[in-house]
Amino acid sequence: MKKYKILIVGGGTAGIMVAARLKRADKHLQMAIIEPSDKHYYQPAWTLVGAGTFDMQKTIRQEADYIPEGVDWIKDSATSIDPENKTVGTKSSGQFTYDYLVVAPGLVMNLDGIEGLRESLGKGGVCSNYVDPEYTWEVLQNFKGGNAVFTQPATPIKCGGAPQKIMYLTEDYLRKHGLRKKSNVIFATPGTVIFGVKDFADTLNKIIQERDIFFKPFYTPVKIDSKNKKVHFKYSQSGINSCIGTEDSSINEEIVGETEIVMPYEMLHLAPPQEAPKFIQESLIAHQEGPSKGWVKVDINTLQHLDYPDIFALGDVAALPTAKTGAAIRKQAPVVANNLIQLIKHNKLGEKLYEGYSSCPLVTGYGKMVLAEFKYNNVRDSDPLLSKLFDTSKELYPMWLLKKYGLPYLYWNQMLRGKM
């Protein structure tokens, strides 16, 4: 059984960033990354792929090009974590032991979390940028009118703003192609508000009203009836269903019983329900009960495990009360790397803390973007330099350029190299 000083589970954004930072700090550290995939994906651009304004192939690179020099790549899937015996099991490479463990396998799509989702996804107008953004673009190009419905599940999801970004882009596309008057654009969400941070919510509410978008809070998707092209929602608040923006019966909703609402669609875009990988859920490192059940139990500021001090977790799999985004990882990775270096060299944690920073580049149309940056408790946390130049709570063309060109460049050349 091979032992490593630091073993990293997951070679996505979080795992690679931590490995790169650790190697930059101490090139002699003995490390390995467990990651089965040959490919590394820049998923933030998938919103733009779904709207036909970014090439899918440019979001894919070889994983081997980003594993830091001197780090062993165990090209396999992790299947178990035993924190008591400090071992990680894999599908075909056996077990590995560690002094320190970094848990960053991301999350997985649960296509069985909504009845009918697995059978309907990828055909008949049912699409998801989370799974196949190229099919979203195909659906959008073939759309001729009717209901374009955008929704998301009640589970945590990565990039919570993504389901509404494609909705704004679709609405803009329909305007540009003379189809807007024949179409209803509907955003149905289990949430209570369009966005949790007031400054950005004010802008988005204004956009929704000005562009005649139906906003349906308290709508949790529970079933897709692809044969009849209808989506079923459970309404999670008693009383009459609410609609901010446009009041109109043209969407032909039906209320069934006390809490079920059935809505026809021509285009249905959704984020599938998402969860931690099974081997995480089944490990002692996950919360066993409560609202964070199944996600890794860490201190929200140090990212150190609350029961096993030799374990850290970051990225989508960590139970943190903030949005699951690559931007969040950019602030988490330096904290984890610093803490590991300090523990190894001085047997104590470092001074760096993670304050919950996350960011959601809210694309609101072709050539327009609101850059929502925030930290724990939905406190706005905009970049001081950008804030001097722009009001990032407004729709801006420079922010669109940042999303389309700046952020991908920084991701591949700076973030994954441990330089920012």
CATH code of the region 2-107+276-356+406-415: 3.50.50.60
**Average pLDDT of 33-51?**
98
Q: Would the CA dihedral through 381, 385, 388, 391 be positive or negative?
A: negative
CA dist 380 and 373 (Å) reads 6
Helix (H) or strand (E) run with residue 186 in it: strand 183-188
Is residue 247 over pLDDT 60? Answer: no
Q: Which CATH class is domain 117-273?
A: alpha beta
Burial class (CB in 10 A: 0-12, 13-18, 19+), 9: buried
**Average pLDDT of 156-162?**
94
- Which residue from 196, 146, 136 is spatially nearest to 166, judged by alpha carbons? 136
- Sequence-ordered list of residues with C-beta below 8 angstroms from that of 306, at least 6 positions apart, any chain: 297, 298, 299
**3-state secondary structure string across 42-103:** CHHHHHHHHCCCCCHHHHEEEHHHCCCCCEEEECCCEEEEECCCCEEEECCCCEEEEEEEEE
pLDDT, tens digit, 9 for 90 and up, residues 71-120: 999 999 999 999 999 999 999 999 999 999 999 999 999 999 999 999 99
**DSSP string across 363-385:** EEETTEEEEEEEEGGGEE---HH
370 neighbors 394 (Cβ within 8 angstroms): yes
**Average pLDDT of 239-267?**
76
CA dist 61 and 41 (Å) reads 7
Cα separation values, 293 from 10, 119, 365, Å: 20, 28, 36
Burial class (CB in 10 A: 0-12, 13-18, 19+), 205: middle
Residue 156 backbone zone (phi > 0: left; psi -120 to 50: alpha; other: beta):
beta
Q: What is the pLDDT of residue 238?
A: 54
Mean pLDDT for the chain overall? 95
Confidence of residue 246 (pLDDT cuts 50, 70, 90): very low
Is residue 242 over pLDDT 60? Answer: no
Cα separation values, 113 from 94, 136, 257, 263, 278, Å: 31, 20, 22, 19, 14
Residue 48 main-chain phi, psi, to 5 deg: -70, -35
Q: How many CB atoms are closer than 10 A to CB 186?
A: 25
Confidence of residue 245 (pLDDT cuts 50, 70, 90): very low
CA dist 312 and 299 (Å) reads 9
- Which residue from 339, 343, 351 is spatially nearest to 298, judged by alpha carbons? 339
Residue span(s) of the chain under CATH 3.50.50.60 come to 2-107+276-356+406-415, 117-273
Helix (H) or strand (E) run with residue 332 in it: helix 326-346
Structure-block tokens of residue 84: 């008591």
Measured torsion, CA atoms of residues 219, 221, 223, 229, in degrees rounded to the nearest 10? 80
Share of the chain above pLDDT 90, in %: 93
pLDDT, tens digit, 9 for 90 and up, residues 345-360: 999 999 999 999 999 9
Is residue 385 over pLDDT 90? Answer: no
CA dist 375 and 322 (Å) reads 7
- Residue type (1 letter), 169: L
**Residue recorded with tokens 């990828």:** 122
Active-site residues: which are they? 159, 360
